[in-house]
Structure 1
Amino acid sequence: MRIARYALAGSEPQFGLVELTSDGGEHPETIAAITGDPLAGPVNYTGERHSLDDVRLLAPVIPRSKVVCLGRNYVAHAEEMGSEIPENPLVFFKPNTSVIGPDEPIVRPRATQDLHHEGELAVVIGRICKQVPVERVSEVIFGYTIANDVTARDLQAADGQWARAKGSDTFCPLGPWIVTHLSLEDASDLQITTTVADQRTPDDVEVRQDDSTRLMVRGISELVSHISSFTTLLPGDVILTGTPAGVGEIAPGQRVTVSIQEIGELSNPVVDEE
Protein backbone atom coordinates (compact mmCIF):
# COMPACT_ATOMS: atom_id res chain seq x y z
CA MET A 1 0.00 0.00 0.00
CA ARG A 2 0.89 3.64 -0.45
CA ILE A 3 -0.50 5.70 2.40
CA ALA A 4 -0.61 9.44 1.83
CA ARG A 5 -1.75 12.42 3.83
CA TYR A 6 -3.58 15.01 1.77
CA ALA A 7 -5.89 17.99 1.79
CA LEU A 8 -8.64 19.25 -0.47
CA ALA A 9 -9.37 22.95 -0.76
CA GLY A 10 -11.19 24.08 2.36
CA SER A 11 -10.92 20.75 4.18
CA GLU A 12 -8.84 19.30 7.00
CA PRO A 13 -5.93 16.95 6.23
CA GLN A 14 -6.76 13.27 6.08
CA PHE A 15 -5.21 9.97 5.04
CA GLY A 16 -5.82 7.98 1.91
CA LEU A 17 -4.58 5.03 -0.13
CA VAL A 18 -2.91 5.89 -3.41
CA GLU A 19 -3.37 3.85 -6.60
CA LEU A 20 -0.99 4.49 -9.50
CA THR A 21 -1.19 3.61 -13.17
CA SER A 22 1.66 1.14 -12.70
CA ASP A 23 -0.50 -0.86 -10.28
CA GLY A 24 -2.82 -1.88 -13.11
CA GLY A 25 -5.92 -1.32 -10.96
CA GLU A 26 -9.32 0.15 -11.76
CA HIS A 27 -8.59 3.63 -10.36
CA PRO A 28 -5.20 4.84 -11.60
CA GLU A 29 -3.73 8.09 -10.27
CA THR A 30 -6.32 8.42 -7.50
CA ILE A 31 -6.45 8.50 -3.73
CA ALA A 32 -9.16 6.72 -1.72
CA ALA A 33 -10.04 8.42 1.56
CA ILE A 34 -9.79 6.44 4.79
CA THR A 35 -10.88 7.24 8.33
CA GLY A 36 -8.49 7.90 11.17
CA ASP A 37 -4.73 7.61 11.38
CA PRO A 38 -3.25 4.32 10.10
CA LEU A 39 -0.40 4.66 12.58
CA ALA A 40 -2.82 4.82 15.49
CA GLY A 41 -5.19 1.95 14.74
CA PRO A 42 -7.62 0.35 12.30
CA VAL A 43 -8.97 2.45 9.42
CA ASN A 44 -11.87 2.11 7.00
CA TYR A 45 -12.63 3.39 3.50
CA THR A 46 -15.04 6.33 3.44
CA GLY A 47 -16.13 5.75 -0.15
CA GLU A 48 -14.58 9.01 -1.35
CA ARG A 49 -12.01 8.91 -4.11
CA HIS A 50 -10.16 11.82 -5.70
CA SER A 51 -7.80 12.36 -8.59
CA LEU A 52 -4.24 12.99 -7.41
CA ASP A 53 -4.33 16.13 -9.54
CA ASP A 54 -7.12 17.50 -7.34
CA VAL A 55 -5.45 17.07 -3.95
CA ARG A 56 -2.47 18.60 -2.21
CA LEU A 57 -0.13 15.96 -0.84
CA LEU A 58 1.24 16.71 2.62
CA ALA A 59 4.06 15.18 4.63
CA PRO A 60 2.81 11.59 5.03
CA VAL A 61 3.60 11.66 8.74
CA ILE A 62 4.15 14.44 11.24
CA PRO A 63 6.27 12.69 13.85
CA ARG A 64 4.62 12.83 17.25
CA SER A 65 7.99 12.49 18.87
CA LYS A 66 11.17 12.72 16.77
CA VAL A 67 13.11 12.40 13.57
CA VAL A 68 16.30 10.42 14.16
CA CYS A 69 19.10 10.82 11.60
CA LEU A 70 22.32 9.05 10.76
CA GLY A 71 25.50 10.80 9.68
CA ARG A 72 28.30 9.40 7.51
CA ASN A 73 26.53 6.13 6.74
CA TYR A 74 27.90 5.90 3.18
CA VAL A 75 31.67 5.63 2.68
CA ALA A 76 31.79 7.87 -0.40
CA HIS A 77 29.84 10.64 1.34
CA ALA A 78 32.15 10.55 4.35
CA GLU A 79 35.10 10.80 1.97
CA GLU A 80 33.66 13.77 0.07
CA MET A 81 33.20 15.57 3.40
CA GLY A 82 36.78 14.81 4.43
CA SER A 83 35.60 12.62 7.30
CA GLU A 84 36.05 9.06 8.43
CA ILE A 85 33.35 6.50 9.13
CA PRO A 86 32.55 6.77 12.85
CA GLU A 87 33.29 3.79 15.07
CA ASN A 88 29.70 3.88 16.32
CA PRO A 89 26.63 5.12 14.40
CA LEU A 90 26.57 8.92 14.37
CA VAL A 91 23.07 9.85 15.52
CA PHE A 92 21.41 13.27 15.64
CA PHE A 93 17.84 14.57 15.79
CA LYS A 94 15.66 16.91 13.80
CA PRO A 95 12.63 18.51 15.49
CA ASN A 96 9.22 17.68 14.08
CA THR A 97 8.84 21.39 13.25
CA SER A 98 11.42 20.88 10.49
CA VAL A 99 9.08 18.54 8.59
CA ILE A 100 7.40 19.70 5.38
CA GLY A 101 5.69 17.84 2.55
CA PRO A 102 5.96 17.58 -1.23
CA ASP A 103 6.13 20.88 -3.14
CA GLU A 104 6.38 22.91 0.06
CA PRO A 105 9.28 25.38 -0.09
CA ILE A 106 12.60 24.76 1.60
CA VAL A 107 13.38 28.13 3.18
CA ARG A 108 17.02 29.24 3.19
CA PRO A 109 17.53 31.19 6.44
CA ARG A 110 19.20 34.59 6.30
CA ALA A 111 21.97 33.17 8.51
CA THR A 112 23.25 30.76 5.85
CA GLN A 113 24.69 31.09 2.36
CA ASP A 114 25.62 27.42 1.91
CA LEU A 115 22.50 25.26 1.90
CA HIS A 116 22.85 21.62 0.82
CA HIS A 117 20.54 18.78 -0.17
CA GLU A 118 20.96 15.23 1.18
CA GLY A 119 18.58 12.67 -0.34
CA GLU A 120 17.82 9.74 1.97
CA LEU A 121 15.66 6.68 2.54
CA ALA A 122 13.43 7.17 5.58
CA VAL A 123 12.06 4.43 7.83
CA VAL A 124 8.70 5.02 9.56
CA ILE A 125 8.24 3.23 12.89
CA GLY A 126 4.88 1.55 13.47
CA ARG A 127 4.85 0.56 17.14
CA ILE A 128 6.30 1.46 20.53
CA CYS A 129 9.60 -0.35 20.87
CA LYS A 130 12.82 -0.38 22.87
CA GLN A 131 15.96 -2.52 22.57
CA VAL A 132 14.81 -4.23 19.38
CA PRO A 133 17.03 -7.18 18.37
CA VAL A 134 18.38 -6.99 14.83
CA GLU A 135 16.43 -10.08 13.81
CA ARG A 136 13.10 -8.51 14.90
CA VAL A 137 13.47 -5.05 13.34
CA SER A 138 11.01 -5.85 10.52
CA GLU A 139 8.27 -6.22 13.16
CA VAL A 140 8.48 -2.55 14.19
CA ILE A 141 8.71 -0.94 10.74
CA PHE A 142 5.48 0.52 9.39
CA GLY A 143 6.90 1.50 6.01
CA TYR A 144 9.31 3.65 4.04
CA THR A 145 9.29 7.12 2.54
CA ILE A 146 11.71 9.66 1.04
CA ALA A 147 13.54 12.37 2.96
CA ASN A 148 15.81 15.31 2.23
CA ASP A 149 18.16 16.04 5.13
CA VAL A 150 18.59 19.73 4.28
CA THR A 151 21.76 21.12 5.85
CA ALA A 152 23.19 24.60 6.31
CA ARG A 153 26.80 23.57 5.75
CA ASP A 154 28.33 26.86 6.92
CA LEU A 155 26.34 26.79 10.18
CA GLN A 156 27.34 23.17 10.68
CA ALA A 157 31.00 24.19 10.54
CA ALA A 158 30.55 27.34 12.61
CA ASP A 159 28.50 25.84 15.45
CA GLY A 160 30.51 22.68 16.02
CA GLN A 161 27.24 20.78 16.44
CA TRP A 162 24.27 20.26 14.15
CA ALA A 163 21.09 21.47 15.84
CA ARG A 164 20.73 24.73 13.92
CA ALA A 165 22.36 23.46 10.72
CA LYS A 166 19.99 20.52 10.32
CA GLY A 167 17.02 21.33 12.55
CA SER A 168 15.78 24.64 11.15
CA ASP A 169 12.20 24.96 9.96
CA THR A 170 11.60 23.28 6.55
CA PHE A 171 14.87 21.29 6.75
CA CYS A 172 13.15 17.88 6.65
CA PRO A 173 11.00 17.36 3.55
CA LEU A 174 9.20 13.98 3.66
CA GLY A 175 6.98 12.25 1.11
CA PRO A 176 5.22 11.77 -1.13
CA TRP A 177 3.67 8.81 0.74
CA ILE A 178 4.57 5.87 2.96
CA VAL A 179 5.09 2.57 1.14
CA THR A 180 4.16 -0.38 3.35
CA HIS A 181 4.58 -3.29 0.95
CA LEU A 182 8.39 -3.27 0.70
CA SER A 183 10.22 -5.95 2.63
CA LEU A 184 13.30 -5.14 4.68
CA GLU A 185 15.35 -6.96 2.07
CA ASP A 186 13.80 -4.88 -0.74
CA ALA A 187 14.46 -1.61 1.08
CA SER A 188 18.10 -2.58 1.51
CA ASP A 189 18.77 -2.31 -2.23
CA LEU A 190 16.96 0.72 -3.69
CA GLN A 191 18.37 3.34 -6.02
CA ILE A 192 18.44 6.92 -4.66
CA THR A 193 18.69 9.79 -7.16
CA THR A 194 18.80 13.50 -6.35
CA THR A 195 18.46 16.13 -9.06
CA VAL A 196 18.50 19.92 -9.05
CA ALA A 197 16.95 22.20 -11.67
CA ASP A 198 16.42 25.92 -12.12
CA GLN A 199 12.68 26.56 -11.90
CA ARG A 200 12.90 28.84 -14.95
CA THR A 201 14.35 25.96 -17.03
CA PRO A 202 12.87 22.84 -15.39
CA ASP A 203 13.95 20.55 -18.22
CA ASP A 204 17.62 21.33 -17.60
CA VAL A 205 18.18 18.82 -14.80
CA GLU A 206 21.49 18.18 -13.04
CA VAL A 207 21.89 14.74 -11.44
CA ARG A 208 23.71 15.16 -8.13
CA GLN A 209 23.28 11.83 -6.33
CA ASP A 210 22.72 8.40 -7.86
CA ASP A 211 23.50 5.43 -5.63
CA SER A 212 21.95 2.46 -3.85
CA THR A 213 20.92 1.80 -0.25
CA ARG A 214 22.95 -1.41 -0.45
CA LEU A 215 26.03 0.80 0.02
CA MET A 216 25.04 1.84 3.54
CA VAL A 217 27.82 1.21 6.04
CA ARG A 218 25.22 0.05 8.56
CA GLY A 219 21.99 -1.41 7.25
CA ILE A 220 18.44 -0.66 8.31
CA SER A 221 18.24 -3.46 10.87
CA GLU A 222 21.45 -2.42 12.60
CA LEU A 223 20.40 1.23 12.66
CA VAL A 224 16.94 0.63 14.13
CA SER A 225 18.35 -1.79 16.69
CA HIS A 226 21.06 0.66 17.72
CA ILE A 227 18.73 3.65 18.03
CA SER A 228 16.19 1.66 20.03
CA SER A 229 18.95 0.59 22.42
CA PHE A 230 19.05 4.07 23.97
CA THR A 231 15.72 5.73 23.13
CA THR A 232 12.17 4.45 22.95
CA LEU A 233 10.76 4.63 19.44
CA LEU A 234 7.12 5.58 19.02
CA PRO A 235 4.63 5.09 16.18
CA GLY A 236 5.29 7.78 13.60
CA ASP A 237 8.92 8.31 14.52
CA VAL A 238 11.06 8.63 11.40
CA ILE A 239 14.62 7.41 10.92
CA LEU A 240 16.75 8.97 8.16
CA THR A 241 19.32 6.38 7.13
CA GLY A 242 22.08 8.62 5.76
CA THR A 243 22.92 10.11 2.39
CA PRO A 244 25.10 8.80 -0.44
CA ALA A 245 27.82 10.83 -2.16
CA GLY A 246 26.99 13.84 -4.30
CA VAL A 247 25.59 16.34 -1.81
CA GLY A 248 25.73 19.90 -3.02
CA GLU A 249 24.45 23.43 -2.78
CA ILE A 250 20.85 24.42 -3.46
CA ALA A 251 19.75 28.01 -3.84
CA PRO A 252 16.55 30.05 -4.11
CA GLY A 253 14.99 29.66 -7.54
CA GLN A 254 15.96 26.00 -7.78
CA ARG A 255 13.96 22.83 -7.25
CA VAL A 256 15.50 19.76 -5.64
CA THR A 257 14.00 16.33 -6.31
CA VAL A 258 14.81 13.09 -4.50
CA SER A 259 13.63 9.88 -6.18
CA ILE A 260 13.83 6.41 -4.67
CA GLN A 261 13.12 3.25 -6.63
CA GLU A 262 9.81 1.56 -5.70
CA ILE A 263 8.73 4.55 -3.59
CA GLY A 264 8.37 7.66 -5.74
CA GLU A 265 9.56 11.24 -5.96
CA LEU A 266 9.83 14.07 -3.44
CA SER A 267 10.28 17.52 -4.98
CA ASN A 268 10.60 20.92 -3.28
CA PRO A 269 11.38 24.45 -4.45
CA VAL A 270 13.96 26.54 -2.60
CA VAL A 271 13.19 30.10 -1.47
CA ASP A 272 14.85 32.77 0.64
CA GLU A 273 13.58 33.61 4.09
CA GLU A 274 11.50 36.74 3.95
Structure 2
Amino acid sequence: MTLALPPADELVVAGRRVRCRVAGDGPPVVLLHGIGRTLDDFTDQHAALARDHRVVSVDLPGHGGSAPLDAPHTLPALAAAVGEVLDATGVTGPAHLVGNSLGGAVAMRLAVDRPARAASLVLVNSAGFGREVTFALRVLAVRPLARLLLRPHPGIARRTERAIFHDPAYVTEARVAAALAVAREPHAARVMLELVGSLGTWRGVRPQWREELLEAVAALGLPTLVVWGDRDRILPVRHLTNARTRFPQARTHLFPDTGHMPQIERAAEFETLVRRFWSESGAAGPA
Protein backbone atom coordinates (compact mmCIF):
# COMPACT_ATOMS: atom_id res chain seq x y z
CA MET A 1 0.00 0.00 0.00
CA THR A 2 1.47 3.35 -1.04
CA LEU A 3 -0.92 6.29 -1.19
CA ALA A 4 -0.05 9.91 -1.96
CA LEU A 5 0.07 12.35 0.91
CA PRO A 6 1.00 16.02 1.12
CA PRO A 7 4.29 16.76 2.87
CA ALA A 8 4.17 17.17 6.61
CA ASP A 9 3.67 20.68 7.96
CA GLU A 10 5.59 22.61 10.57
CA LEU A 11 3.55 24.27 13.30
CA VAL A 12 4.56 26.35 16.28
CA VAL A 13 2.93 24.88 19.38
CA ALA A 14 3.61 26.37 22.83
CA GLY A 15 6.55 28.21 21.27
CA ARG A 16 8.11 25.03 19.92
CA ARG A 17 8.48 23.81 16.32
CA VAL A 18 6.39 20.70 15.66
CA ARG A 19 6.33 18.59 12.51
CA CYS A 20 2.94 17.04 11.92
CA ARG A 21 0.59 15.90 9.19
CA VAL A 22 -3.18 16.45 9.29
CA ALA A 23 -5.53 15.12 6.63
CA GLY A 24 -9.10 13.96 6.12
CA ASP A 25 -12.46 14.53 7.78
CA GLY A 26 -14.41 12.40 10.21
CA PRO A 27 -13.75 10.92 13.65
CA PRO A 28 -10.25 11.94 14.81
CA VAL A 29 -7.32 9.51 14.81
CA VAL A 30 -3.88 10.18 16.30
CA LEU A 31 -0.85 8.18 15.10
CA LEU A 32 2.21 8.06 17.39
CA HIS A 33 5.61 6.61 16.46
CA GLY A 34 8.32 4.95 18.53
CA ILE A 35 11.58 6.06 20.12
CA GLY A 36 14.07 7.55 17.69
CA ARG A 37 11.52 7.36 14.87
CA THR A 38 9.20 9.79 13.03
CA LEU A 39 5.64 10.09 11.80
CA ASP A 40 6.80 8.54 8.51
CA ASP A 41 6.38 5.12 10.15
CA PHE A 42 2.63 5.72 9.76
CA THR A 43 2.59 7.24 6.26
CA ASP A 44 0.55 4.47 4.62
CA GLN A 45 -1.89 4.18 7.52
CA HIS A 46 -2.33 7.95 7.61
CA ALA A 47 -3.25 8.06 3.92
CA ALA A 48 -5.60 5.08 4.16
CA LEU A 49 -7.42 6.18 7.31
CA ALA A 50 -7.73 9.79 6.13
CA ARG A 51 -10.26 8.65 3.53
CA ASP A 52 -12.93 8.90 6.25
CA HIS A 53 -11.19 10.13 9.42
CA ARG A 54 -9.44 13.27 10.57
CA VAL A 55 -5.93 11.88 11.00
CA VAL A 56 -3.12 13.58 12.90
CA SER A 57 0.42 12.19 12.78
CA VAL A 58 3.10 13.98 14.78
CA ASP A 59 6.84 13.82 15.32
CA LEU A 60 7.20 13.55 19.09
CA PRO A 61 9.30 16.24 20.81
CA GLY A 62 12.97 15.96 19.88
CA HIS A 63 12.22 13.49 17.09
CA GLY A 64 12.42 14.09 13.35
CA GLY A 65 11.40 17.65 12.55
CA SER A 66 10.04 18.51 16.00
CA ALA A 67 12.15 20.63 18.31
CA PRO A 68 13.11 19.23 21.72
CA LEU A 69 11.40 20.26 24.93
CA ASP A 70 12.97 22.68 27.37
CA ALA A 71 12.12 20.20 30.14
CA PRO A 72 13.40 16.60 30.39
CA HIS A 73 11.91 14.17 27.87
CA THR A 74 9.73 11.78 29.86
CA LEU A 75 6.58 9.84 29.08
CA PRO A 76 4.24 12.38 30.77
CA ALA A 77 6.03 15.25 28.99
CA LEU A 78 5.61 13.59 25.59
CA ALA A 79 1.93 12.89 26.26
CA ALA A 80 1.33 16.48 27.33
CA ALA A 81 3.03 17.71 24.16
CA VAL A 82 0.76 15.54 22.01
CA GLY A 83 -2.24 17.03 23.79
CA GLU A 84 -0.99 20.50 22.92
CA VAL A 85 -0.67 19.52 19.26
CA LEU A 86 -4.26 18.27 19.26
CA ASP A 87 -5.40 21.59 20.72
CA ALA A 88 -3.45 23.45 18.03
CA THR A 89 -4.91 21.35 15.21
CA GLY A 90 -8.49 21.73 16.41
CA VAL A 91 -8.98 18.19 17.68
CA THR A 92 -10.91 18.82 20.88
CA GLY A 93 -13.03 15.70 21.31
CA PRO A 94 -12.12 12.05 21.95
CA ALA A 95 -9.74 10.55 19.38
CA HIS A 96 -8.67 7.04 18.48
CA LEU A 97 -5.11 6.86 19.82
CA VAL A 98 -2.82 4.56 17.83
CA GLY A 99 0.75 4.08 19.03
CA ASN A 100 3.68 1.92 17.98
CA SER A 101 6.39 0.97 20.51
CA LEU A 102 7.08 4.06 22.66
CA GLY A 103 4.12 5.66 20.90
CA GLY A 104 1.86 3.06 22.49
CA ALA A 105 3.03 4.07 25.95
CA VAL A 106 2.56 7.74 25.03
CA ALA A 107 -1.00 6.96 23.89
CA MET A 108 -1.75 5.19 27.17
CA ARG A 109 -0.26 8.05 29.19
CA LEU A 110 -2.31 10.62 27.27
CA ALA A 111 -5.48 8.57 27.83
CA VAL A 112 -4.82 8.42 31.58
CA ASP A 113 -3.79 12.04 32.00
CA ARG A 114 -6.53 13.44 29.74
CA PRO A 115 -9.32 10.84 29.53
CA ALA A 116 -11.55 13.12 27.48
CA ARG A 117 -8.96 12.82 24.69
CA ALA A 118 -9.33 9.06 24.22
CA ALA A 119 -12.07 7.21 22.34
CA SER A 120 -10.03 4.01 22.03
CA LEU A 121 -6.50 2.61 22.10
CA VAL A 122 -4.67 0.66 19.42
CA LEU A 123 -1.35 -0.50 20.85
CA VAL A 124 1.11 -1.77 18.23
CA ASN A 125 4.08 -3.74 19.63
CA SER A 126 3.75 -1.27 22.47
CA ALA A 127 6.16 -0.43 25.24
CA GLY A 128 4.86 -1.04 28.74
CA PHE A 129 4.03 -4.75 28.84
CA GLY A 130 7.30 -6.22 30.05
CA ARG A 131 10.86 -5.66 31.20
CA GLU A 132 12.54 -7.25 28.19
CA VAL A 133 13.78 -4.95 25.43
CA THR A 134 16.41 -5.25 22.74
CA PHE A 135 20.02 -5.13 23.96
CA ALA A 136 20.64 -2.13 21.69
CA LEU A 137 18.32 -0.03 23.90
CA ARG A 138 19.45 -1.47 27.23
CA VAL A 139 23.08 -0.68 26.50
CA LEU A 140 22.15 2.99 26.04
CA ALA A 141 21.92 3.18 29.83
CA VAL A 142 25.71 2.78 29.86
CA ARG A 143 26.78 6.30 28.92
CA PRO A 144 30.19 5.67 27.26
CA LEU A 145 28.66 2.99 25.04
CA ALA A 146 25.57 5.10 24.43
CA ARG A 147 27.56 7.98 22.98
CA LEU A 148 29.30 5.55 20.66
CA LEU A 149 26.09 3.85 19.51
CA LEU A 150 24.14 7.08 19.05
CA ARG A 151 26.64 8.71 16.72
CA PRO A 152 25.30 9.21 13.18
CA HIS A 153 26.75 6.36 11.14
CA PRO A 154 25.32 4.58 8.06
CA GLY A 155 26.19 1.15 9.45
CA ILE A 156 24.36 1.80 12.72
CA ALA A 157 21.32 3.15 10.88
CA ARG A 158 21.21 0.10 8.62
CA ARG A 159 21.49 -2.36 11.55
CA THR A 160 18.66 -0.55 13.33
CA GLU A 161 16.38 -0.83 10.30
CA ARG A 162 17.26 -4.52 9.94
CA ALA A 163 16.29 -5.13 13.56
CA ILE A 164 12.91 -3.46 13.08
CA PHE A 165 11.69 -5.44 10.08
CA HIS A 166 11.39 -9.18 9.64
CA ASP A 167 11.32 -8.88 5.85
CA PRO A 168 14.63 -7.36 4.69
CA ALA A 169 12.90 -5.91 1.64
CA TYR A 170 11.62 -3.14 3.91
CA VAL A 171 15.17 -2.08 4.75
CA THR A 172 15.35 0.35 1.86
CA GLU A 173 18.03 2.93 1.14
CA ALA A 174 15.41 5.63 1.68
CA ARG A 175 14.62 4.33 5.18
CA VAL A 176 18.30 4.07 6.08
CA ALA A 177 18.90 7.62 4.83
CA ALA A 178 15.92 8.93 6.81
CA ALA A 179 17.15 7.22 9.99
CA LEU A 180 20.59 8.71 9.48
CA ALA A 181 19.12 12.19 9.02
CA VAL A 182 17.20 11.86 12.29
CA ALA A 183 20.35 10.75 14.13
CA ARG A 184 22.22 13.79 12.81
CA GLU A 185 19.91 16.26 14.57
CA PRO A 186 22.05 18.01 17.21
CA HIS A 187 19.66 17.16 20.04
CA ALA A 188 18.91 13.55 18.98
CA ALA A 189 21.38 11.79 21.29
CA ARG A 190 20.38 13.89 24.31
CA VAL A 191 16.67 13.22 23.79
CA MET A 192 17.27 9.49 23.36
CA LEU A 193 19.37 9.31 26.52
CA GLU A 194 16.78 11.20 28.55
CA LEU A 195 13.99 8.90 27.41
CA VAL A 196 15.96 5.70 27.88
CA GLY A 197 17.10 6.85 31.33
CA SER A 198 13.57 7.69 32.43
CA LEU A 199 12.06 4.44 31.18
CA GLY A 200 14.70 1.81 31.89
CA THR A 201 18.15 0.69 32.94
CA TRP A 202 20.69 -1.69 31.44
CA ARG A 203 18.61 -4.48 33.00
CA GLY A 204 15.50 -3.53 31.01
CA VAL A 205 12.33 -1.48 31.29
CA ARG A 206 11.61 -0.15 34.78
CA PRO A 207 8.58 -1.82 36.43
CA GLN A 208 7.40 1.23 38.40
CA TRP A 209 6.03 3.32 35.56
CA ARG A 210 4.71 0.25 33.75
CA GLU A 211 2.69 -0.99 36.72
CA GLU A 212 1.19 2.40 37.46
CA LEU A 213 0.32 3.07 33.83
CA LEU A 214 -1.22 -0.33 33.08
CA GLU A 215 -3.34 -0.23 36.22
CA ALA A 216 -4.59 3.24 35.35
CA VAL A 217 -5.36 2.31 31.74
CA ALA A 218 -7.25 -0.82 32.82
CA ALA A 219 -9.40 1.33 35.11
CA LEU A 220 -10.47 3.53 32.17
CA GLY A 221 -12.27 0.65 30.45
CA LEU A 222 -11.48 2.00 26.98
CA PRO A 223 -12.00 -0.16 23.90
CA THR A 224 -8.48 -1.49 23.33
CA LEU A 225 -6.78 -3.46 20.59
CA VAL A 226 -3.26 -4.83 21.14
CA VAL A 227 -1.37 -6.20 18.14
CA TRP A 228 2.10 -7.70 17.77
CA GLY A 229 4.44 -9.12 15.18
CA ASP A 230 5.63 -12.62 16.04
CA ARG A 231 9.20 -11.87 14.89
CA ASP A 232 9.68 -8.67 16.87
CA ARG A 233 13.32 -8.28 17.88
CA ILE A 234 12.78 -5.04 19.80
CA LEU A 235 9.99 -5.99 22.22
CA PRO A 236 9.43 -9.77 22.35
CA VAL A 237 6.14 -11.33 21.39
CA ARG A 238 5.61 -12.72 24.90
CA HIS A 239 4.63 -9.17 25.87
CA LEU A 240 1.38 -9.82 24.02
CA THR A 241 0.61 -12.53 26.59
CA ASN A 242 1.25 -9.98 29.34
CA ALA A 243 -1.11 -7.56 27.61
CA ARG A 244 -3.86 -10.18 27.54
CA THR A 245 -3.41 -10.69 31.28
CA ARG A 246 -3.39 -7.01 32.16
CA PHE A 247 -6.22 -6.05 29.78
CA PRO A 248 -8.46 -9.15 29.70
CA GLN A 249 -11.23 -7.29 27.88
CA ALA A 250 -8.92 -6.08 25.10
CA ARG A 251 -8.89 -7.53 21.63
CA THR A 252 -5.54 -8.91 20.51
CA HIS A 253 -4.00 -10.01 17.24
CA LEU A 254 -0.70 -11.64 16.32
CA PHE A 255 0.73 -11.05 12.85
CA PRO A 256 2.83 -13.98 11.55
CA ASP A 257 6.26 -13.42 10.01
CA THR A 258 6.19 -9.78 11.08
CA GLY A 259 8.62 -7.59 12.99
CA HIS A 260 8.28 -4.50 15.15
CA MET A 261 6.10 -2.51 12.76
CA PRO A 262 3.02 -4.41 11.56
CA GLN A 263 1.55 -1.12 10.33
CA ILE A 264 4.23 -1.20 7.62
CA GLU A 265 4.90 -4.91 7.01
CA ARG A 266 1.19 -5.83 7.10
CA ALA A 267 -0.25 -2.48 6.05
CA ALA A 268 -3.47 -3.61 4.37
CA GLU A 269 -4.24 -6.26 6.99
CA PHE A 270 -3.48 -3.76 9.75
CA GLU A 271 -5.88 -1.19 8.35
CA THR A 272 -8.64 -3.77 7.97
CA LEU A 273 -8.10 -5.03 11.51
CA VAL A 274 -8.20 -1.56 13.03
CA ARG A 275 -11.28 -0.52 11.12
CA ARG A 276 -13.08 -3.71 12.15
CA PHE A 277 -12.09 -3.12 15.77
CA TRP A 278 -13.46 0.43 15.74
CA SER A 279 -16.69 -0.72 14.13
CA GLU A 280 -17.33 -3.81 16.27
CA SER A 281 -16.29 -2.22 19.57
CA GLY A 282 -18.68 0.67 19.11
CA ALA A 283 -15.76 3.11 19.13
CA ALA A 284 -16.08 4.15 15.49
CA GLY A 285 -17.82 7.42 16.29
CA PRO A 286 -20.03 9.38 13.95
CA ALA A 287 -19.48 9.00 10.22
TM over 0.5: no
The structure in which a higher percent of residues are strand is 1
Q: TM-score, normalised to structure 2's length?
A: 0.29
**RCO higher in structure (CA 8 A, sep ≥6):** 1
Q: TM-score, normalised to structure 1's length?
A: 0.30
